[in-house]
Amino acid sequence: MSDAIEQYLIKNEPYYHPVADEVTLYEAAYSARIPMMLKGPTGCGKTRFVEFMAWKLKKPLITVACNEDMTASDLVGRFLLDAQGTRWQDGPLTTAARYGAICYLDEVVEARQDTTVVIHPVTDSRRILPLEKKGELINAHPDFQLVISYNPGYQSLMKDLKQSTKQRFGALDFNYPDHDTETEIVSHESGIDKAISTKLVSIAERARNLKGHGLDEGISTRMLIYAGNLIAKGVEAHAACRVALVRPITDDPDMRDALDAAVATFF
Ligand SMILES: Nc1ncnc2c1ncn2[C@@H]1O[C@H](COP(=O)(O)OP(=O)(O)OP(=O)(O)O)[C@@H](O)[C@H]1O
């Protein structure tokens, strides 16, 4: 393995608690080199899952957080001018395709459509990545796989992946884990005991019922871990929940009252 890619190998096993059969399905998809789309709300474990799978498959992982200012060059690479003159610098997608990594494009829908089309030739049977500016055509390394994340809740008609992009991927649905699994995860990640984390999970479950009825998104596993982290640091539970759960998710006074009431039910 080249130095360029060695740095992206995950050395220690990431903690990942499987929720259903996603590990086996992903392994099969990887061995068939099917590009994968991980669908689900923010903070529910998609990134942790891909880190775990990359570690399990012993493949390097290159992650790119996509945004609307991103251009195709940010993915494939560009010519840079320095003291020695002009030189080409591979972008993260090119590095992954050239040397055989898993490339994870987080929230790819944020990127402009002219950016997302660069992934087309490398996500169908051609498995090629044309570097038009450089005049080079890369045949993707056999170990290369593209993985994207997608939050169906955020999509609108104005901003969505084209069908021609979506249909190049297999998809796994992610959601918040079931009560016991989430309790386990929150305890493990924040160090609080299960008696407290089960209460945090119960608060989140109530709040998740408010999604679409005043809240745009549910309280995520990530937020529960933050609350647990604060409690583990000695912050009193009500204050921890206010800082980590209630205030970040809404500014609506009625919704804040409803969430405070849910917190008061359990603490
Ligand atoms: N099944 C799980 N096993 C272990 N940890 C988990 C699991 N699900 C969630 N977590 C925890 O929740 C945190 C948030 O998950 P993660 O960062 O993977 O979310 P995400 O779905 O990728 O969010 P985003 O879409 O915002 O990037 C992780 O750092 C991890 O601590």
CA atoms within 13 A on the CB side of 238: 7
3-state secondary structure of 36: strand
Show Cβ contacts of residue 222 under 8 Å, excluding neighbours closer than 6 positions. Answer: 42, 43
Q: Is the ipTM of this structure higher than 0.90?
A: yes
Task: Look at residue 158 in the predicted model and tell me its pLDDT.
Answer: 60
Match domain 3-173 to its CATH number in 3.30.365.10, 1.10.10.10, 3.40.50.300, 3.40.640.10: 3.40.50.300
Task: Look at residue 170 in the predicted model and tell me its pLDDT.
Answer: 97
Residue nearest to atom 10 of ligand 1 (CA): 45
Phi, psi dihedrals of residue 149, rounded to the nearest 5°: -110, 155
> What is the value of pTM for the model shown?
0.94
- Ligand 1 pocket member 177 (CB < 6 A): yes
- Ligand 1 pocket member 43 (CB < 6 A): yes
3-state secondary structure of 48: helix
Q: Which two tokens stand for residue 88?
A: 């080409």
Per-residue pLDDT of the chain (267 residues; tens, 9 = 90+): 677 788 999 999 999 999 999 999 999 999 999 999 999 999 999 999 999 999 999 999 999 999 989 999 999 999 999 888 999 999 999 999 999 999 999 998 888 888 888 999 999 999 999 999 999 999 999 999 999 998 887 655 567 888 999 999 999 999 999 999 999 999 999 999 999 999 999 999 999 999 888 888 899 999 999 999 999 999 999 999 999 999 999 999 999 999 999 999 999
Residue nearest to atom 9 of ligand 1 (CA): 45
In angstroms, the CA 251 to CA 233 distance is 26
Q: How far is the CA of 49 from the centre of ligand 1 (A)?
A: 7
